Amino acid sequence: MGQDFLRRKNDRFVRQRDKRFAAQTSDDLLAMIPPEMVVNLCGRAVGPVMLAQELWTPEVNNEGPIEFYCGELPAVRLEGAAATHLRDQCAEPHSQIVARVVDLEQDHGLVTLKIGISP
């Protein structure tokens, strides 16, 4: 009786652990983008930002800063060379851009984004 109870309890623990691991490693927004379409750029926080947070941007304009949003609120702004690089190298007109916060310098408001482009 005791060994059977322990075996069932251990099996239940293993099933729960495997289920939690599968949930943690499930696909995210950047997982579906080919590796050649991913770039890291640095921007400035204009709203609340957390590590590993996923952001999006509407259509990219031909000039000016690029705003990334968390839901409806602006979160990060790319300006200058970073925005130009994203436009020139990665973004086509009417492309959807998603990003994940990979580093955050709270004292200066600098945010490093891992950016992926889906045509």
Give the pLDDT confidence score for residue 78 in this predicted structure.
Answer: 93
Per-residue pLDDT of the chain (119 residues; tens, 9 = 90+): 678 888 888 888 888 888 887 776 666 666 666 555 678 899 999 998 999 899 988 877 778 899 999 989 999 999 999 888 888 776 566 566 888 999 999 888 899 999 876 55
Whole-number Cα distances in Å, 85 to 33, 39, 47, 91, 113: 19, 10, 23, 9, 13
Give the pLDDT confidence score for residue 39 in this predicted structure.
Answer: 82
Give the pLDDT confidence score for residue 75 in this predicted structure.
Answer: 94
Strands 66-70 and 73-78: antiparallel
Give the pLDDT confidence score for residue 93 in this predicted structure.
Answer: 60
Read off φ and ψ for residue 39, nearest 5 degrees: -145, 150
Give the pLDDT confidence score for residue 91 in this predicted structure.
Answer: 55
Q: pTM for this one?
A: 0.66
The domains found in the chain, sorted by start residue, are: 29-118 (3.30.70)
